[in-house]
A and B are shown apart, each in its own frame.
Chain A
Amino acid sequence: DAGVTQSPTHLIKTRGQHVTLRCSPISGHKSVSWYQQVLGQGPQFIFQYYEKEERGRGNFPDRFSARQFPNYSSELNVNALLLGDSALYLCASSLAGRQGFYEQYFGPGTRLTVT
């Protein structure tokens, strides 16, 4: 079975630009979460979506937004990019349910570099 897939693998953007990152969950998983991992740190939670509804949001500015589609794939959008947004962006998918939401399986990530 295919795992979580993310695209693109890498991208380079300039400050002030906008970026869209994409994620396809494991088949049968209906929840998607996004995390930001800055070099040398653990991942930080950005969003969780379930059945196209936002279920949780981390401490990130409104420049960050996301959505989930009927096929459960998801997009993360970041506007007005800053140098500090350079990071590995990880998508994780999970089943529903109290324990299911927490058992998250991660994709390979998108490496974003802002210059």
Chain B
Amino acid sequence: AQSVTQPDIHITVSEGASLELRCNYSYGATPYLFWYVQSPGQGLQLLLKYFSGDTLVQGIKGFEAEFKRSQSSFNLRKPSVHWSDAAEYFCAVGPRSNDYKLSFGAGTTVTVRA
């Protein structure tokens, strides 16, 4: 069955420290891959996307993600976290078919401590 897994429900990181959020997917073929961020009470903001090509993708707000086909993963990273990065992060996938929906993981909540 197709699925998107974010293994970490909650991560706490110190301001200035690095951050890595994990995302694994289970699809027959490599899907399109996305990361979104959601602040409390807000909608989702697109951080970055992967369609094809270079497996290291740069996004907004200093985030990057790396696609690893062998591990079926698309992990999100940021070298130095700011307090404003505290939010919930969702990995999403879109299958390369005529099914144009996005399937989301359950999300990872990031807390930033001073």
On A, residues with C-beta under 8 Å from B are 4, 6, 31, 33, 35, 40-45, 48, 55-56, 58, 90, 92, 98-99, 101-109, 111
A42 to B104, CA, bound (A): 6
CA distance A103 to B92 in the complex (A): 11
Instruction: Give the complex CA separation of A55 and B94 in angstroms.
Output: 14
Whether B94 pairs with A108 at a CB distance below 8 angstroms is no
Looking at the assembled complex, report how far the CB atom of B34 sits from the nearest CB atom of chain A, in whole angstroms: 8
Is B99 at the interface (CB under 8 A from chain A)?
A: yes
Report B's interface with A, CB cutoff 8 A: 4, 32, 34, 36, 41-46, 49, 51, 90, 92, 94, 96, 99-107
Q: B102 contacts A108, CB within 8 Å?
A: no
A42, B100: Cβ atoms closer than 8 Å: no
- Chain A positions within 8 Å of B99 at CB level: 56
Note all chain B residues with C-beta closer than 8 A to A109: 42-43
**Once the chains are docked, how many angstroms separate the CA of A78 from the CA of B45?**
26
The answer, among B4, B44, B96, for a CB contact under 8 Å with A90, is: B44
A90 to B45, CA, bound (A): 12
